[in-house]
Amino acid sequence: MLHVVLFQPEIPPNTGNIIRLCANAGAMLHLIHPLGFELSEARVKRAGLDYHDMACVREYPDLDAFYREQWLLRMFTISTRADNCYANIKFADGDAFLFGPETRGLPQSLLESVPSDQRLRIPMRPHNRSLNLSNAVAVVLYEAWRQQEFAGGN
């Protein structure tokens, strides 16, 4: 199983879309608090539609709690400040992808806490704003799942 980790997500519809995405790709979603919303908010439910019950979603009070429980996962950070293109990586079952908050991205100290070859970026045109969070998650998650020949899909 692949793992999507959202560090302090802020925008409810993005998280709702990612819940739906993870349900469809068979990935587990990990949410690191504080969240910028309540999971029960209508905007989250509307974006996730009825997929909330089909997705595996875990919440953690902070990143340390996540690391204590999920320490075996190979962690990749996704950031516009990384040097390695996500498409050049050989992903494996059990990999985790850590994405930062929509308005500020991952803290530099968190980026530096993972090996440099596990800091990934999604290519884009110069001087553009970064992709929407749910789009960025979809790009990376589906590449990792594609490399696993869409195991469990149809």
Residue 116 maps to a domain: yes
Residue 19 maps to a domain: yes
pLDDT of residue 154: 85
How many angstroms separate the first and last alpha carbons of the chain?
16
Residue 154 maps to a domain: no
Q: Are 60 and 30 spatial neighbours (Cβ–Cβ below 8 Å)?
A: yes
Residue 15's domain is classified under what CATH number?
A: 3.40.1280.10
Query: Is the pLDDT reported for residue 52 higher than 70?
Result: no
Residue 152 maps to a domain: no
> Pick the residue with more confidence: 46 or 56?
56
Residue 31 maps to a domain: yes
Which tokens sit at 72? Answer: 């075996």
Residue 42 maps to a domain: yes
pLDDT of residue 53: 64
Specify the number of domains making up the chain: 1
Give the pairing type, strands 119-121 and 75-78: parallel
Determine the residue type at 104: R
Query: 129-151, pLDDT tens digit by residue?
Result: 889 999 999 999 999 999 999 99
pTM score of the predicted model: 0.92
Q: Are 103 and 10 spatial neighbours (Cβ–Cβ below 8 Å)?
A: yes
pLDDT exceeding 70 applies to what percent of the chain? 90
Instruction: Provide the residue range defining the domain that includes 34.
Output: 3-147
Query: Is the pLDDT reported for residue 44 higher than 70?
Result: no
Residue 70 maps to a domain: yes
> Pick the residue with more confidence: 4 or 12?
4
